[in-house]
Homo-oligomer: A and B are copies of this chain.
Amino acid sequence: MTDRRIHKNKIKFHKDAFDKTSEERRNSVLSIALGEFASKGYSATSINDIARDAGVSIGAMYSYFASKEDLFLTIVNEGHFLMVEILSAIGENSSDVFDCVKKMITSSRTFALEHTLLNQIYLDLTTQALSPLAVRLSSELEQVTPVLLSSIIDKAKAEGLVSEHVDAKMASFCIDNILMIYQFSFSSDYYKERMRMYLGDEELTDIEKVEAKMMQFIKRAILL
């Protein structure tokens, strides 16, 4: 297990010039763009606004990115890279399925809280209108989770930890559905409110307990 990198992230959506500017400029552009795309959505975001707020000329903007689309994808791509890294780490450092799922639950929340804007953008990307953009990322988005989850469940089945009646693929799908929306529940106002309706305000104050219950739900579903 030498190469811990599942994902290589070869694709880049920016021009060479972007690599050559000062890190300050780069960060400024990316963070402003992140904020704009996250709060307004792809369509409603203006590249001119981003340029102005980032203190960069639009001319420079277009010397960094060939198009608004490419700027957007650059951000999504970086975000995805982050998530994949976290997932890979979890995959490698988990003793068993339950440990793994537990860590995934927690990191769903922490990732959404630490990278709220990124998460909002990711939600936007799943939208039908942005499917043409998602397609451009498809090779990158080749999901890590399906493989990770179902292989770890299969292993657990072999070890007798998980019932042989459990369908690994379906279980992975269901678990990821649960986690995906859980994650959105910390970044999108819509899902935040929805979670509040399900779990109530008070319950949510003790997030450890919430996650313990979620763990329990999943555990019951696959346990021997």
Give the B-binding residues of A (Cβ under 8 A).
Answer: 38-44, 120, 123-131, 134-135, 138, 142-143, 146, 150, 163, 165-167, 169-174, 176-178, 180-182, 184, 187-191, 193-195, 197-200, 203, 210, 213-214, 216-218, 220-222
Contact = CB atoms under 8 A, between A and B. Distances in A.
Nearest to A210: B170
Given A125-B190, A128-B188, A177-B178, 16 more contacts: A40-B129, A41-B128, A41-B130, A120-B127, A120-B128, A126-B184, A127-B190, A128-B189, A131-B190, A138-B193, A146-B198, A165-B220, A169-B199, A170-B199, A170-B216, A221-B221
A128 B38 contact: yes
A182 B175 CA distance: 12
Given A128-B124, A172-B198, A181-B177, A166 B220 contact: yes
A205 B167 CA distance: 16
Given A169-B199, A197-B146, A198-B173, A188 B131 contact: yes
B41 A129 contact: yes
A187 B131 CA distance: 11
Contacts of A127: 41, 120, 123-124, 127, 188, 190
Contacts of A221: 217-218, 220-221
A79 to B, nearest CB: 14
Nearest to A119: B128
Nearest to A147: B197
